[in-house]
Amino acid sequence: MIVAPKIRGFICTTAHPVGCAKHVADQIAVVKSRGPIANGPKKVLVVGSSTGYGLSSRIAAAFGCGAATIGVFFEKPGEADRCGTAGWYNSAAFEKEAKAAGLYARSFNGDAFSDAMKAEIIEAIKKDLGQVDCVIYSLASPRRTHPKTGEVFKSVLKPTGGASYTNKNLNTGTGVVNEVTIEPANDDEIAQTVAVMGGEDWEMWIDALQGAGVLANGVQTVAYSYIGPEVTWPIYKNGTIGRAKEDLERVQRVLDGKLAAIGGKAWVSVNKALVTQASSAIPVVPLYISLLYKVMKAEGTHEDCIEQMDRLFRERLYNGNPQPDEAGRIRVDDWEMAPKVQQLVDARWKEVNTENFPQLGDFEGYQTSFLRLFGFGLAGVDYNADVDVSIGVPSLA
């Protein structure tokens, strides 16, 4: 079938398998162009490996470090007349590229929050790898079924503190800069968001892996976070998602203690604001990203997910110089948060409206990045050609 983008709100309901493969190949090329990552991990588990930072982590580990990788995700395969999800096609392309490079790659599709998936992964590690020396935790889900109680938690993106929040917002379909008002979360919504997006499941993964003896001495585990500038804090850092990220940092400190016995280390990496399937859903953030892209591209410091993850592995995790901040977090958002960049973005935020947005923001860059997530708009892909949308992930066949 011929596949075209169909956008509904902040998601695209179609994905192009050939375009997704090209997107994966382009990321691999970035890593290869920078040469091997010295002292990198060799056996890596990525929980949430099919899109965004998780996918780029898997690519950096495999093609920068030569690592065997196991990836866990929850994606839908394509059928004869219906597209699969972008994450499905990304994972199929990754496995194909890994096999061609002589690298072990195995994927698991299902509920990463469940005890059953954890048990399945542990058996695979025991059988195929023995142990893993790096665990990346990069899950982004709107809901979670608790594996012990069966309770279903749902996350919300709202401010906290009891007051509604109004600020500028971008209609990503039209380019109109308008205002959005978001009502505050109640205590139950905050608790549910922490249950979905906080650190409990990360800790459950590490506990299960360590209890089964499949974590190597010196293992490092990383979970991803974001802080951003003050303009986004009411909806992010000080909002429900920020409460979840605080819990992630709490768990990082707990895991540090648990892993000390095997010389291991847990990290929270604070990454740059980028167009991902998760960030597109957060009010206010797409407008900030559009302004940020314009400034950072002019500065020559713009990075996408793959450049961020390559730098995390190459210049923080595995070169003996992680450069943690005062709270013990790794900061690869450092170029975003540079004073010169933030002063410019802040000035433009105060000025921006629908009329001057084309001059102040990078709407084209935002839209291009969004479409690339689903395999559209990549050079060298014939989007008028019939494609097979029912391709499989080799290790899941």
Could you list the active site residues? 236
Alpha-carbon span 209 to 204, nearest angstrom: 9
Alpha-carbon span 200 to 155, nearest angstrom: 14
Query: 105-109 and 68-73 as β-strands: parallel, antiparallel, unpaired?
Result: parallel
Half-sphere exposure (Cβ direction) of 155: Cα atoms closer than 13 Å: 24
3-state helix, strand, coil in the chain (%, to 5): 45, 15, 40
- Pick from 164, 352, 326, 329: nearest CA to 251: 329
- State both tokens at 159: 């401010």
Alpha-carbon span 223 to 52, nearest angstrom: 13
Tell me the torsion sign for CA atoms 100, 104, 110, 113: negative
Residue type (1 letter), 268: V
Query: Which residues, listed in sequence order, are joined to residue 170 by a DSSP beta bridge?
Result: 177
Contact between 179 and 363 (Cβ < 8 Å) = no
Q: Residue 266 in 3-state DSSP?
A: strand
Catalogue the E-assigned strands of the chain.
Answer: 7-8, 11-12, 43-47, 68-73, 105-109, 132-137, 143-145, 152-154, 165-170, 177-182, 215-225, 265-270, 330-331
Name the strands in the sheet holding 105-109, side by side, starting at the edge strand that comes first in the sequence: 105-109, 68-73, 43-47, 132-137, 215-225, 265-270, 330-331
Residue 237 DSSP code: T
Q: What is the DSSP string of 21-81?
A: HHHHHHHHHHHHHT---TT--SEEEEES-SSHHHHHHHHHHHHHH--EEEEEE-----BTT
